[in-house]
C-alpha cells in the first residue's frame, strides 16, 4: 500500500506543477481574447487565471463583464444630475448630457472557446 501512496503523491505533485505552469498560459490566452477596448486595459488587466492545487480559478473582476458576455438590450443611462456625461461630437468641443440612450450590445461569449481549449494548453505544458 505504501508504494501506491507514493505513486499517488508523485502523480499529484506532477499534476499540480503542470497546472501551476499552465495557468499563466491560460491567463495570457484569455487576455488576448478580451473584446473590450476601454483605453486603460481595465478588463484585460482584471482577467486572471490562478492555480489552486488541482484546479485553476479564472476571474474577470470588472462589474461589466457579465454585460459583455450576455449582451444588453437598448436602455437609458442616467447620471448624477450634477455630473453630466461628456459626449464627443464632430468638431471642437464636447456636449454634456444628464442621460443618454445606450443602443445595447450583442452578446460576446469570448472566454468559453479559450476555456474549452484548457485541456490542450495543459497537455502542451511541460512538467
Q: What is the pLDDT of residues 43-52, one digit of tens each?
A: 889 999 999 9
Write down the pLDDT at residue 20: 95
What average pLDDT does this structure show over 4-27? 91
- Over its C-alpha atoms, the chain yields an Rg (Å, rounded) of 22
- Report whether pLDDT(74) > 90: yes
Alpha helices, H only, the chain: 2-33, 42-45, 65-70, 112-116, 118-124
Q: Which CA distances in Å does 85 have to 50, 71, 80, 88, 92?
A: 37, 22, 9, 10, 17
Write down the pLDDT at residue 2: 64
Phi-psi label, residue 126: left if phi above 0, alpha if psi -120 to 50, beta otherwise: beta
Amino acid at each position: 500500500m505504501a508504494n501506491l501512496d507514493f505513486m499517488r503523491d508523485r502523480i499529484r505533485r506532477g499534476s499540480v506543477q503542470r497546472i501551476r505552469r499552465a495557468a499563466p498560459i491560460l491567463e495570457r490566452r484569455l487576455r488576448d481574447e478580451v473584446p473590450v477596448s476601454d483605453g486603460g486595459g481595465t478588463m484585460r488587466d482584471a482577467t486572471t487565471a490562478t492555480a489552486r492545487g488541482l484546479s485553476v480559478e479564472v476571474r474577470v473582476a470588472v462589474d461589466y463583464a457579465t454585460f459583455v458576455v450576455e449582451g444588453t438590450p437598448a436602455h437609458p443611462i442616467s447620471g448624477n444630475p450634477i455630473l453630466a456625461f461628456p459626449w464627443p461630437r464632430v468638431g471642437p468641443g464636447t456636449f454634456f448630457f444628464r442621460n443618454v440612450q445606450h443602443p445595447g450590445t450583442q452578446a460576446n461569449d469570448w472566454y468559453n472557446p479559450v476555456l474549452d481549449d484548457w485541456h490542450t494548453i495543459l497537455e502542451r505544458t511541460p512538467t
